[in-house]
Amino acid sequence: MEPELQRLLGISAGEPVAGGCIHDCYRVTIGRTPRFLKTNGSEFADAFAAEADGLAALGAVGMHVPKPFGHGVAAGRAWLLLEYLDLNGQQDFAALGRLLAAGHRKSGPRFGWQRDNYIGSTPQLNNWGDDWAEFWMQRRIQPQLRLAQRNGFEIPAPSTRLLEQYRPKPSLLHGDLWSGNVGFTPGGPVVFDPAVYYGDREADLAMTELFGGFPREFYRAYNEAWPLEEGY
């Protein structure tokens, strides 16, 4: 950890910890309080700003998230300082399902978000739109297809036919809700590393089914709190 960053934040002690996947992460002590610090190259400054923005938005609607305390650049390194959470709680996926359903009930005026952000290190476009099919194709599918083509894959022309008559309400989404971005504290479930925007809540549920999916009690509790429409 850079001495300049330690001086700037008043860090008296720190040790590397797991987390963040692509970032260097530390459990640090500031005063007598533990905090979670992410650092990376200065090119990640905007990504950390976007992450702090997303965490604040989810926290404002009652989602349990690590509270962001600040972000910036020091000694050529971008940094993000967060609340340190004890992730040794019981894995209550039913509580997580209810928590997510409640957060999804926060509806926005349109599809999109107040700023672009990132899913992992990949830029995510959030220009506002009124039509979900158009937003999904132009802001999500097409950028991924262009990325795939640049990496040498042959991609067929996509279609929005299945979405043409579909009119979901814009819900506040986590945006990158897979098992690696969920934890459980002694006080209940917590989510982190968001890529927030207002979109179809089914997009968040679909993301949870990747990489092995969540346990059945998560989906059961979600549907009891806010049933998904037929056809999901």
Region of 102 please: left (phi>0), alpha (psi -120 to 50) or beta. alpha
Q: What is residue 148's predicted lDDT score, i.e. its pLDDT?
A: 93
| H/E stretch holding 224 | helix 216-225
d(CA 148, CA 218): 32
Q: What is residue 18's predicted lDDT score, i.e. its pLDDT?
A: 82
pLDDT in tens, 198-209: 999 999 999 999
Q: What is residue 140's predicted lDDT score, i.e. its pLDDT?
A: 95
**Residues of the chain scoring pLDDT < 50:** none
Q: What is residue 84's predicted lDDT score, i.e. its pLDDT?
A: 97
Domains of the chain: 3-83 (3.30.200.20), 93-225 (3.90.1200.10)
The catalytic site residues sit at 176
Q: Do 201 and 208 contact (CB within 8 A), yes or no?
A: no
d(CA 188, CA 41): 33
d(CA 97, CA 154): 37
Q: Is the pTM of this model over 0.85?
A: yes
Q: What is residue 20's predicted lDDT score, i.e. its pLDDT?
A: 64
